[in-house]
Amino acid sequence: MSRQPSIRTALPRAQPVGHASLRRANLSLVLRHLRDEGSCSRSDVADATGLHRATVSSLMAELIERGLVRELGTARAGAIGRPRRAVALDGSHVGALGMEINVDYIAVHGIDLGGRVLVERRIGFDAMGEGPDRSLVELGRVARKAIAEMRRAGAAPGGIVVAVPGLVDIGPGVVTLAPNLGWDDLPLAERLRAELGGFRAPVGVDNDANLSALAEYTSGVAAGTPDMVYLTGEVGVGGGIMVGGRLLRGADGFSGEVGHLPVNPSGRRCGCGRTGCWETKVGLAALVRAATPDRAYERGAAAPPDPEVRVKEISRALAAGEPRTLAAVAEVGRWLGLGGSILVNLFNPRVIVIGGYFARLAERLIPPAQAELERLVVAGPAARCRFLASNLGFGAASRGAASMVVDHIMDDPAAIGFAPVARSSVGSV
Ligand SMILES: [Zn+2]
């Protein structure tokens, strides 16, 4: 598994003090060492971490008890010396559940700590039409089913993170504003926890673009690229920004609202109420309006048009060489490059990963976008930044949500406050 630095996660964290705090930090240190280095002996861990051997033994006993580490049996280091028992991260008993609720679907991605995918599905659901109450009931139903399936596979979820397309106050897990869902000030974490009854592990909420950026960083086309921007190409446009291998949060957790960069002050009114935002030039609604004005999105329409259908229509028109569609896509590409150049001037990323509909039309969008970016970026070498199409599809945000849960467990293994299911292999020497 790739190395991954600690990130500020959306999951609530206990705030122990003094000795308890030190012990939790040491549990995390030992667990991360095992994840990064594979199997090793207790004395290897002591040497690598600088902890006393007795401390490592005590920490290891707790990690084994929590089902996070297992004994592998006896290994001899070299030809001489005492045989030493090796230990390894045991990913199979503890799970991580990532979910996403978006305008027209709910997605789930459940894995165990070893990265084995246990549940993965996308369910069509009109979240905007159903409203927050019915959406929460459905989210709870989908979560309960996924939890049951994960438990049957032997991995009890050690946490849930839900991705939402909007502004999220990650501390309390409140959706401050999700214009495309019609939600504001919705205490999603608390409400989902109530739907789940006795679920004891932490529940968190985060922005979909942030979580998609995390998925790209851990397993996408730009995996491991520490300085990277991810753009969601939907009706709205959001951004997740990785700086030095960390998700940029900002003072209040609201960084990355790149769709509302005011790039065209004399332009159209945006869904946010302001004028000339970047998404009024590059969002799917802008493309549809330019390519097929008779099919334009209408605000307040009873049923939002299916983005999949729109993208297929545009792809067909492109393949047929329809001039208005070709011109409209090239124009979106140029605006993509203009906004991209602002992001490059600000953050100097190595790549800008484009997801959603951008990825589907990447072949036509990237050439004009790249040319415009290179024309507008101030620092010459920064213009080496490349647009890349995401290949994670609609699963990116839920996948990122699951990896955030894994990171939370790695950060605070003591948060696993329950007996994991299926302990039969634990403790065998
Ligand atoms: Zn706006």
The chain-wide mean pLDDT, for the chain, equals 87
pLDDT of residue 155: 93
- Mark whether 290 and 156 lie in a shared domain: no
Whether residue 341 lies inside any domain: the answer is: yes
Ligand 1 centre from 269 Cα, in Å? 8
pLDDT of residue 82: 62
- Mark whether 64 and 115 lie in a shared domain: no
The CATH number of the domain where 114 resides is what? 3.30.420.40
Whether residue 11 lies inside any domain: the answer is: no
Residue 319 pLDDT level (bands cut at 50, 70, 90): very high
Whether residue 9 lies inside any domain: the answer is: no
- Mark whether 314 and 245 lie in a shared domain: yes
Ligand 1 centre from 238 Cα, in Å? 11
Residue ending a domain, choose from 89, 115, 148: 89
- Mark whether 134 and 240 lie in a shared domain: no
Ligand 1 centre from 107 Cα, in Å? 26
- Mark whether 234 and 363 lie in a shared domain: yes
Ligand 1 centre from 332 Cα, in Å? 17
Residue ending a domain, choose from 68, 89, 110: 89
Ligand 1 centre from 280 Cα, in Å? 7
Q: How far apart are CA 405 and CA 160, in angstroms?
A: 6
- Mark whether 164 and 203 lie in a shared domain: yes
**In the predicted structure, residue 352 carries a pLDDT above the cut 80:** yes
In terms of residue numbers, what domain contains 52? 18-89
Mean pLDDT value of segment 191-206: 92
- Mark whether 63 and 133 lie in a shared domain: no
Q: How far apart are CA 325 and CA 281, in angstroms?
A: 15
pLDDT of residue 87: 92
Ligand 1 centre from 19 Cα, in Å? 48
- Mark whether 384 and 238 lie in a shared domain: yes
SS (HEC) of the chain: CCCCCCCCCCCCCCCCCHHHHHHHHHHHHHHHHHHHHCCEEHHHHHHHHCCCHHHHHHHHHHHHHCCCEEEEEEEECCCCCCEEEEEEECCCCEEEEEEEECCCEEEEEEEECCCCEEEEEEEECCHHHHHHHHHHHHHHHHHHHHHHHHHHCCCEEEEEEEEECCEEECCCCEEEEECCCCEEEECHHHHHHHHCCCCCCCEEEEEHHHHHHHHHHHHCCCCCCCCEEEEEECCCEEEEEEECCEECCCCCCCCCCHHHCECCCCCCECCCCCECECHHHHCHHHHHHHHCHHHCCCCCCCCCCCHHHHHHHHHHHHHCCCHHHHHHHHHHHHHHHHHHHHHHHHHCCCEEEECHHHHHCHHHHHHHHHHHHHHHCCCHHHHHCEEEECCCHHHHHHHHHHHHHHHHHHHCHHHCCCCCCCCCCCCCC
Whether residue 6 lies inside any domain: the answer is: no
Ligand 1 centre from 272 Cα, in Å? 4
- Residues 322-351 pLDDT 10s: 999 999 999 999 999 999 999 999 999 999
- Residues 125-166 pLDDT 10s: 888 889 999 999 999 999 999 999 999 999 999 999 999 999
- Mark whether 108 and 61 lie in a shared domain: no
Ligand 1 centre from 138 Cα, in Å? 29
- Mark whether 386 and 364 lie in a shared domain: yes
- Mark whether 260 and 380 lie in a shared domain: yes
Ligand 1 centre from 271 Cα, in Å? 6
Ligand 1 centre from 259 Cα, in Å? 6
**In the predicted structure, residue 302 carries a pLDDT above the cut 80:** no
Ligand 1 centre from 221 Cα, in Å? 29
Ligand 1 centre from 253 Cα, in Å? 18
Ligand 1 centre from 82 Cα, in Å? 66
Whether residue 5 lies inside any domain: the answer is: no
The answer to whether 329 and 289 have CB atoms below 8 angstroms apart is: no
**In the predicted structure, residue 429 carries a pLDDT above the cut 50:** no
Ligand 1 centre from 46 Cα, in Å? 53
Total number of domains in the chain: 3
**In the predicted structure, residue 204 carries a pLDDT above the cut 60:** yes
pLDDT of residue 380: 81
The CATH number of the domain where 43 resides is what? 1.10.10.10
Mean pLDDT value of segment 99-105: 90
pLDDT of residue 2: 42
**In the predicted structure, residue 275 carries a pLDDT above the cut 60:** yes
Ligand 1 centre from 273 Cα, in Å? 6
**In the predicted structure, residue 295 carries a pLDDT above the cut 90:** no
Ligand 1 centre from 354 Cα, in Å? 19
Whether residue 428 lies inside any domain: the answer is: no
Ligand 1 centre from 258 Cα, in Å? 9
Whether residue 1 lies inside any domain: the answer is: no
Residue ending a domain, choose from 56, 71, 89: 89
Whether residue 7 lies inside any domain: the answer is: no
Ligand 1 centre from 395 Cα, in Å? 25
Ligand 1 centre from 237 Cα, in Å? 9
- Mark whether 199 and 234 lie in a shared domain: no
